[in-house]
């Protein structure tokens, strides 16, 4: 009987706008069909979150935006505009 | 006194400030590469004690010691951390034949808020084609304040750079640069020798500064890395601050990014 499994796509954008360009990306595959890893692609799978949505991906988390902490205004750290998307796929169990 | 011709120049230093690394292809002679490769295969490279002078760690006739006594390598070391740096640690990094999983992205050690900086050498003693890896780095990531594998969720970035190189190639990187070992799809073990060094002198104008006023330097410091996205201007501020530290000039600026922020007039006009 077919079962549903989750695939997770994480897209990091140029700005918080969902139609801005992807600058980094990750994939985690709960179907077990693929094993994505670091450095496995030079081009993002989609150019924006909106384009991924047009291919059936559902946005499940938006990045929160916070003003910089005092004294940290010019520090950089993690990629700030991280969108998490999912797609449910059937597997044969 | 080191021969000035072996020192880095100001343009190379500006690239180090902007990118967090410098690359020297096929710098080490073949015989030495082969000797070090054999030394790594035999697990024959001795470990020093953190904080010891590098000059005391691998005396002659150690092949790995000879690599870091090459005048070209001494020039790189002198330019970045001064003439007599301390050994921090080294590692013989290996990726087994047929390993198809990449290492998680990470920055070494822990969050490091110093302007003073350590360097790490990545030395590739044998040819490293893409199917063998090699080490992937993310140019321009060195100012990011992260703790080691906090960045492990990331897999790919625009402009990520796998080090694909011939034997004898050396990268020297700022301690903060993000990197990860790549899968090895060959039938041979892959080696990469890493060495971290600490400065013992103030890191100011240690390189050949004859071209310090070269007009191309502001442009080098102003370049973008596509993965920055909207943070590029913040990264340029980081570079300006670092360049000021390196040249000892707290007025240096690129594109007026700092000058605008530092304009705090206090002169009060008399009432008309």
Segment A21-28 mean pLDDT: 98
Q: Containing H/E element for B259?
A: helix B257-261
Q: Where are the domains of chain B?
A: 4-198, 214-261
What separation, in Å, do the N-terminal and C-terminal C-alpha atoms of chain B show? 64
Give CA–CA dist B111/B147, Å, rounded.
5
Segment B24-49 mean pLDDT: 97
Asked if A18 has any chain B CB less than 8 Å from its own CB, the reply is no
Has residue A93 got a pLDDT over 90?
A: no
Work out the minimum CA distance from A1 to partner chain B, whole angstroms. 31
Work out the minimum CA distance from A11 to partner chain B, whole angstroms. 9
Nearest-Cα residue of chain B relative to residue A8: B153
Give CA–CA dist B104/A40, Å, rounded.
12
Has residue B201 got a pLDDT over 80?
A: yes
pLDDT of residue A92: 81
Which residue's structure tokens are 């808020």? B113
The minimal CB distance from B102 to the residues A10, A12, A38 is found for: A38
The reply to whether the predicted model has a pTM over 0.90 is: yes
Asked if A35 has any chain B CB less than 8 Å from its own CB, the reply is yes
Q: Which residues of B touch A (CB under 8 A)?
A: 100-105, 136, 143-146, 150-151, 153-158, 160, 162, 180, 182-183, 226-231, 234-235, 237-238
Question: Do B19 and B140 contact (CB within 8 A), yes or no?
Answer: yes
- Going through chain B in order, the beta strands assigned E by DSSP cover 21-24, 86-95, 119-124, 135-137, 156-157, 161-162, 169-174, 179-181, 190-198
Q: Dmax over Cα atoms in chain A, in whole Å?
A: 57
- Using CA atoms, how far residue A64 sits from A67, A83, B75, B153, B161, in Å, is 10, 10, 46, 18, 30
B185 — phi, psi (to 5°)?
Answer: -95, 10
Q: Please list every residue in chain A whose beta carbon sits closer than 8 Å to the beta carbon of residue B182.
A: 38-39
Fold type of domain B4-198: Jelly Rolls (2.60.120)
Q: What is the mean pLDDT of chain B?
A: 97
Q: Quick one: CA dihedral B262, B266, B270, B272, positive or negative?
A: positive
Question: Do A24 and A9 contact (CB within 8 A), yes or no?
Answer: no
Q: Please list every residue in chain B whose beta carbon sits closer than 8 Å to the beta carbon of residue A35.
A: 100-101
Write the pLDDT tens digit of every residue in A32-64: 999 999 999 999 999 999 999 999 999 999 999
Asked if A64 has any chain B CB less than 8 Å from its own CB, the reply is no
Has residue B26 got a pLDDT over 80?
A: yes
Interface test with A, best of B155, B180, B183 (most A CBs within 10 A): B155
pLDDT of residue B23: 98
Work out the minimum CA distance from B12 to partner chain A, whole angstroms. 24
Closest by CA to A81, choosing from A2, A36, A20, is A20
Write the pLDDT tens digit of every residue in B107-125: 999 999 999 999 999 999 9
Q: Please list every residue in chain B whose beta carbon sits closer than 8 Å to the beta carbon of residue A38.
A: 102-105, 136, 154-156, 180, 182
> How many structural domains does chain A have?
1
Segment B70-99 mean pLDDT: 98
ipTM: 0.97
Cβ separation of B156 and A10 shorter than 8 Å?
A: no
Has residue A12 got a pLDDT over 90?
A: yes
The minimal CB distance from A23 to the residues B100, B144, B227 is found for: B227
The minimal CB distance from A14 to the residues B150, B182, B229 is found for: B229
Range of the domain at A69: 2-92
What is the band of B272 on the pLDDT scale with cuts at 50, 70, 90? confident
Q: Please list every residue in chain A whose beta carbon sits closer than 8 Å to the beta carbon of residue B226.
A: 23
Closest by CA to B83, choosing from B207, B185, B266, B193, is B207
Nearest-Cα residue of chain B relative to residue A43: B158
Residues belonging to chain B: 272
Give CA–CA dist B143/B17, Å, rounded.
10
pLDDT of residue B1: 81
Write the pLDDT tens digit of every residue in B128-166: 999 999 999 999 999 999 999 999 999 999 999 999 999
């Amino acid at each position: 009987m077919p079962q549903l499994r989750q695939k997770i796509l994480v897209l990091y954008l140029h700005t918080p706008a969902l139609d801005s360009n992807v600058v980094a990306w990750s994939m985690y595959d709960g179907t077990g069909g693929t094993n994505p890893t670091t450095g496995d692609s030079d081009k993002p799978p989609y150019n924006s979150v909106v384009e991924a949505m047009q291919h059936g991906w559902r946005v499940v988390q938006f990045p929160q935006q916070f003003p910089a902490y005092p004294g940290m205004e010019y520090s950089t750290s993690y990629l700030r505009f991280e969108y998490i998307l999912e797609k449910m796929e059937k597997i044969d169990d | 006194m080191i021969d000035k011709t072996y020192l880095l120049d100001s343009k190379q230093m500006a690239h180090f400030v902007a990118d967090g690394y410098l690359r020297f292809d096929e710098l080490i002679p073949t015989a030495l590469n082969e000797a070090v490769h054999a030394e790594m295969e035999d697990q024959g490279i001795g470990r020093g004690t953190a904080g010891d002078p590098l000059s005391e760690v691998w005396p002659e006739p150690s092949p790995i010691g000879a690599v870091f006594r090459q005048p070209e390598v001494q020039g790189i070391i002198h330019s970045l951390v001064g003439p007599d740096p301390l050994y921090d640690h080294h590692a013989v990094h290996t990726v087994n034949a047929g390993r198809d999983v990449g290492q998680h992205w990470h920055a070494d050690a822990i969050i490091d808020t110093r302007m003073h900086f350590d360097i790490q050498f990545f030395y590739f003693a044998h040819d490293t084609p893409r199917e063998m890896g090699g080490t992937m780095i993310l140019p321009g990531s060195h100012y990011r304040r992260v703790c080691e594998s906090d960045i492990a969720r990331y897999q790919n970035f625009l402009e990520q750079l796998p080090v694909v190189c011939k034997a004898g190639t050396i990268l020297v990187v700022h301690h903060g640069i993000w990197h990860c070992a790549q899968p090895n799809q060959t039938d041979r073990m892959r080696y990469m020798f890493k060495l971290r060094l600490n400065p013992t002198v103030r890191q100011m104008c240690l390189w050949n500064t004859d071209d310090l006023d070269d007009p191309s330097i502001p442009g080098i410091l102003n370049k973008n890395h596509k993965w920055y996205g909207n943070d590029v201007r913040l990264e340029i501020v980081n570079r300006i601050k670092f360049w000021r530290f390196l040249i000892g000039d707290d007025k240096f600026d690129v594109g007026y990014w700092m000058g605008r922020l530092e304009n705090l007039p206090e002169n009060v006009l008399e009432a008309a």
